[in-house]
A and B are shown apart, each in its own frame.
Chain A
Amino acid sequence: MASQIHFLDIKGKPLLSRDYKGDIPTNTIEKFPLLLLELENAADDGDFKPFVHSQGINYIFINHNNLYLCALTRKNENIMAIIVFLSKLIEVLTQYFKSLEEESIRDNFVIIYELLDEMMDYGVPQTTDTKILKEYITQDYYKLVRSTPSHLVQPPNAVTNAVSWRKDGIFYKKNEAFLDVVESINMLINASGQVLNSEILGEVKIKSHLSGMPDLRLGLNDKGIFSSSSDLEAGEQTANAKGIEMEDIKFHQCVRLSKFENERIITFIPPDGEFTLMSYRLSSAQYLMKPLLLVNCKFKVHKHSRIEILCSIRAQIKKKSTANNVEVIIPIPEDADTPKFVPEYGTVKWIPEKSCVIWKLKTFPGGKQFHMRAELGLPAVTDPEDILSKKPIKVNFSIPYFTTSGIQVRYLRINEPKLQYQSYPWVRYITQSGDDYTVRTK
């Protein structure tokens, strides 16, 4: 698939490279900084793209923490697969080294080479599951070598098994499975409080502490969700389906997809430890949610002297629920100074380097409304251009014991045919803000 893979610094200088096929001269990558420069110069015109073709060679790259990961190929390869592989590579290395940056690449080149060797062979992706890779590629080689002779380090069966995500012989004294249903809300609200776009990105996360090879079966309140989506399958969506429609459900590779497709049952053998079992999306194509937290912000700019901000926030959730760790991030002009804040509740901080004001409210009971007034000085001399940027207000929050979509876990049956142990499933629900819960300012 890829002929070479390179790790490069932000200027495009190679840090570490692996040549898989030898059909591209090794010094080809030296052209990359130039190509990158060209692309960046053209970036204003929107010509920057994560791939570039030069003299018969295709450079496909992704950016991460001031690093570029770049794959080279001559052929018309599956670019989606390459990009996903590169991001998987980042994911694996991040899990190995905590954070992936120039420094950690220099310090860990040995293990990176090993991983590159194991994750891709002759340009074909092989194993990209961190949990399995960690089974036989470890950082503490010294320890390992001393305690066990080398021929005992074996590739785990899982590498090539049909169940490639779980090793044999896991044992826990207390068998438990923790389920977290996390829903992230992305919402785009215009300045007058009207919702333009909203979506719920849901995830069911499982932390499994289960022995042996357990077979799990998850039941959700499928009347509301799965039947309506199966109606959709049949192409005869009825009017009485309540409008909730779980879209593009994605499963972890352990879930038997064909079983779900045919019988709408979620069954799986879980990997050990934490993983995301499934994710789903509910979008506003059919309906628009009302905002959970409604922010209303008014800016009054007195040119050359000061800017006044009047912000109110209201929790439109049930009285019983509370939103925690609410943060309202309000953008302000870069050259503002001397802030004065009068919050009715919570604390306000000015972060000059990000040119924003953050209003924090630790707990926020449902149905309440709070106000905040802020005033910042503006320099006497200003750019004639717009004073306020178009940057939207961002809101962060989390609401425990509550899912917006109404999804519920009915049961989680755990069955280990050999060990037949007693096990305990625990379920938690949480709704939080997604990456993009924003309110436009103008």
Chain B
Amino acid sequence: MSLERKIRSFLTGPRKGETFELKSGLVSQYKHERKDAIQRVIQAMTVGKDVSSLFPDVLKNIATYDLEQKKLVYLYLMNYAKTHPELCILAVNTFVQDTEDPNPLVRALAIRTMGCIRVNKMVDYMEIPLQRTLQDENPYVRKTAALCVAKLFDLNPEMCVEFGFLDQLKGLIKDSNPMVVANSLNALYEIRDMNSDANLEIFTADTETVKNLLMCLNECTEWGRITILTTLNEYHTDDAEEANHIIERVTPQLQHVNPSVVLSSIRAIIHHIDAIPVTAQRAAILKKLSAPLVSLVSSSIPEAQYVGLKNIRIILEKYPQILSKELRVFFIKYSDPLYLKLEKLEIMVRLANDSNSALLLGELKEYAMEFEPSLVAKAIKSIGSVAIKLSGSTVKAINLLNSLIDHRGGDLVINESIVVLTNILRRYPGKNDLITLIIPVISNHISELERSDAMSGYIWLLGEYPKYFSNLHDKLQVLIDDFLSFESVLQLNILTAIVKINLSASGSKYSSLLQKVLESSTKDCENADVRDKAYIYWRLLSSSSTESQKEIILTKLPPITTTIASFNPVVLESLVEELSTLSSVYHKPAFTFIDPNAAHSHVAQGNKSRSSSKKDNIEDLTNLAKQEIINNAKNENLLDFDDDDDALTGDNGAAEGSGSLLDELNDLFSAPVPVSQGQQTQPSSNNDILSLFGAIPQNAPTPVSNVTQGLNNFNIGSNAAPSNTSKLNNDLLDLM
């Protein structure tokens, strides 16, 4: 009995409840009731209820003259076509009829919706209506049909090519209506991204097309302009005259009210500027870009401002002079969201020069008095960056930091300031006046140092400038008493500092301390790195002559040059090409985060006719894996802006690193692993033993990194390298 009942109930559907009500509404004999029911169905769909069971009943209402009702039914169809692919065919007739309707709105609606019904069976019926609408006399219909070609390609590329739609689409680029031109371009781009057939040529801009597009540019809507400007960015010419012509045509767009048109224009101009041979002319063009760039920051949409700032940072790196007079524009407004404030600081330190430094430092001081901790921290860091960038402002900056510590105080300000002060001394090593300014401040606040980067800065200073500290012995005693309670980074630093002090100080005032520290690090310390380092020192101190000990241990670090992060030149080039896109805000080249196969794998799914052999798959996978690993390594290397030391070494380290990385990866994938050559290219001229801590390329994957040189069994560096501003990292600098 139950089976029969189940079948019956399945056939008739529920008799009660919302679905039943809707169902009866949909088949009502009254027009307004039917329409009302459709509206309620769409409402249910909007809030996420599954109303796909009503498909046949909704479909019955498709033949109507009521445009609104038609739109609603179409909307429903688009959403649920996949659930009832076979029933969609019933709608085809209406669609085809509608594409012949006298009203262009209906014609366009029909062809637009038809493309959005992603059901394979639909494809067979699309040929005639699409053919017809592509040649429609009304541009509104043509522009809709142009996009429909891309939708068709998504469903069935072979058919799209076979029936000549692709060629027709290419023809539409020369259409008389600018909107149609823009949409055809967009459709071609979509197709190009989806295309997986290497032999199929989709679209490359040639001189003729570009000429045509430039004519269109002024007549397009804002969105059309963006499309054309994007095309111009892809077109490459070496002909100075042509480039000049393009720039001349694009320049008026810098005055458009839409910030994305402005940014796309800037991108197109920068793309073509290199083709212009005369330096003065290039400078004049660049000068024109500064006001539009600034206007990106005065947009009323904070999100757009942020994207603007991110792009300005890239452009500034390529053309540092472009905004030199515009510092004030980037001053923080109280009402700015935090992410905007922080990004503005990034731009401000990059614009710092001798003429505006006083103004800038005054402003930075204000920010350091604000509430948000991250803003305060960044403002203090920025003060340091300015001091390091401009030697003329150093004393002023130090005084500023001193007064901040006095007036505001608090853990955050003190810790952050001391890191910065240490960095300033690393920029100007051995300068007596600076040292006497800085060290007393730090000594006054030792008890408040909580963060390990501030602490290690302090310890490094102890080792570097022991003479300037009063009560040195007591200070060291305190450190050694708590030696075992510190993090390993600090332990390493203390070890080095004490060895240094011991060597540089005459007599044996500190030898008991040294003895104690060496003992506790070799006997009681759990960390292998600390232990190993202590052994090295011990051996070194007991075997070689004092001269060579001094030469090795007391080697001065080369001064740092900047704490402002910069891009690797290769990355910068690709970012400049990708201005205004997502990569410009992530500050990563597109291939590092966009899966190039995403678009076609989707096509492959939709179209089962295409099968890929297993071998291909495996190859793809290996490639993908390689890509992934490289990307990870690169990202960390280049884009870790917070790590000052990375930025310093990034420039040469990364280029080398990624090159050797590739070799290593290939080795990884081919079975036996020979020792890679890449690492031995590191300069070995340095007779400093410490250099072996750095023999590992930064952040390289560990499996291949620890087999280089003989002494390297200790592998001391690998653990400490990633941690911030440690003494070891400083030593790493020796290498570079």
Chain A residues at the B interface, C-beta cutoff of 8 Å: 1, 14-17, 19-23, 43-51, 53, 56, 58, 60, 62-63, 73-81, 83-85, 87, 109-110, 113-114, 117, 121-129, 136, 141, 145, 149-155, 159-160, 162, 164, 188, 190, 196-197, 199, 201, 232-235, 247-253, 256-258, 260-261, 276, 279, 281, 283-285, 389-392, 435-436, 438, 440, 442
A-B contacts, 17 of them at CB < 8 A, read: A47-B339, A50-B339, A74-B598, A74-B599, A78-B226, A78-B581, A79-B584, A80-B308, A81-B260, A110-B39, A127-B221, A145-B67, A153-B103, A196-B359, A247-B294, A248-B294, A260-B255
Question: Nearest Cβ distance between residue A176 and chain B, in whole angstroms?
Answer: 24
List, in ascending order, chain B residues with CB within 8 A of A197's CB: 328-329, 331
Chain B 274-312, CB within 8 Å of chain A: the 1/0 string? 000000100110011001101100100111101110010
The verdict on B371 contacting chain A, using a C-beta distance below 8 Å, is yes
The reply to whether B598 and A257 form a contact with Cβ atoms under 8 Å apart is no
Contact assessment for B223 and A125 in the assembled complex, using a CB-CB cutoff below 8 Å: yes
Contact with A along B365-382 (1 / 0, CB 8 A): 010011111110010000
Q: Is B72 an interface residue (CB 8 A)?
A: yes
Is B522 located at the chain interface by the 8 A CB criterion?
Answer: no
B583 contacts A by Cβ under 8 Å: yes
Q: Assess the A162–B338 pair: CB atoms within 8 A.
A: no
CA of A262 to CA of B135, assembled, Å = 37
Give the complex CA separation of A261 and B252 in angstroms.
Answer: 6
Q: List A contacts of B121 (CB < 8 A).
A: none
The bracket for how many chain B residues form the interface is 35 or more
Chain B residue numbers with a CB within 8 Å of A196 are: 328, 331, 359, 363
A262 to chain B minimum Cβ distance, whole angstroms, is 8
Is A128's CB under 8 angstroms from B223's CB? yes
> How far apart are the CA atoms of A44 and B525 in the complex, in Å?
36
Residue B112 CB within 8 A of the other chain: yes
Q: Spot the interface stretch: B41-49, B196-204, B416-424, B542-550.
A: B41-49
Choose from A17, A87, A127, A281 the contact partner of B304 (Cβ within 8 Å). Answer: A87
- The B330-361 residues at the A interface (CB cut-off 8 A) are 331, 333-335, 337-339, 341-342, 359
Q: Could you tell me the distance in whole angstroms from the C-beta of A87 to the nearest C-beta in chain B?
A: 5
Among B10-18, B143-151, B510-518, the one that faces the other chain is B143-151
Q: How far is the CB of B309 from chain A (nearest CB, A)?
A: 11
A251-B255, A253-B221, A389-B371 known; 14 new pairs, CB 8 Å cut-off, are A23-B599, A44-B374, A47-B339, A50-B303, A76-B583, A76-B593, A81-B223, A122-B116, A150-B106, A155-B138, A197-B328, A232-B287, A281-B295, A283-B294
Q: Are A283 and B328 in contact (CB under 8 A)?
A: yes
**Known contacts A253-B256, A283-B329, A285-B326; A117 and B112 CB within 8 A of each other:** yes
Where chain B touches its partner, the secondary structure class is helix
The reply on B68 being an interface residue by CB < 8 A is yes
The reply to whether B103 and A154 form a contact with Cβ atoms under 8 Å apart is: yes
Take A46-B378, A81-B223, A279-B257 as given contacts and tell me if A149 and B295 are in contact as well, using a CB distance cutoff of 8 Å.
Answer: no
Q: How far is the CB of B419 from chain A (nearest CB, A)?
A: 17
Q: Are B260 and A78 neighbours in the complex by a CB distance under 8 Å? A: yes
Question: Once the chains bind, are B284 and A235 in contact (CB under 8 Å)?
Answer: yes
Q: How far is the CA of A140 from the CA of B96 in the complex (A)?
A: 28
Closest to A234 in B: B284
Are A251 and B147 within 8 A (Cβ)?
A: no
CA distance in complex: A248, B139 (Å) = 34
When distances are taken between beta carbons in the complex, the residues of chain B under 8 Å from A51 are 582, 585
The minimal Cβ–Cβ distance linking B495 to chain A, given in whole angstroms, is 32
Q: Return chain A residues, CB-CB under 8 Å to B450.
A: none
In the complex, whether B186 has a CB less than 8 A from a CB of chain A is yes
CB distance from B507 to the nearest CB of A (A): 48
Task: Give the shortest distance, in Å, between A432 (CB) and chain B (any CB).
Answer: 16
CB of B369 within 8 A of CB of A257, answer no
Report which of B190, B311, B335, B586 forms a contact with A436, defined as CB distance below 8 A: B335
B149 to A: closest C-beta gap in Å: 10
Residues of B within 8 A of A1 (CB): 186
Q: Which of chain A's residues has its CB closest to B230's CB?
A: A78
| In the complex, residue of chain B having the shortest beta-carbon distance to the beta carbon of A27 | B48
> Is A83 in contact with B256, judged by CB distance below 8 angstroms?
no
Q: How far is the CB of A354 from chain B (nearest CB, A)?
A: 13
CA distance A194 to B294 in the complex (A): 24
Instruction: Choose, from B22-30, B177-185, B647-655, B680-688, the stretch at the interface.
Output: B177-185
| Bitwise interface map of B from 56 to 90 toward A, beta carbon under 8 Å scored 1, else 0 | 00000000011110011001000100000000000
- Residues from 119 to 156 in B contacting A, C-beta threshold 8 Å: 138-140, 143-144, 147, 150-151, 154
Residues of B within 8 A of A232 (CB): 287
In this assembly, does B664 line the interface, its C-beta being within 8 Å of a C-beta of chain A? no
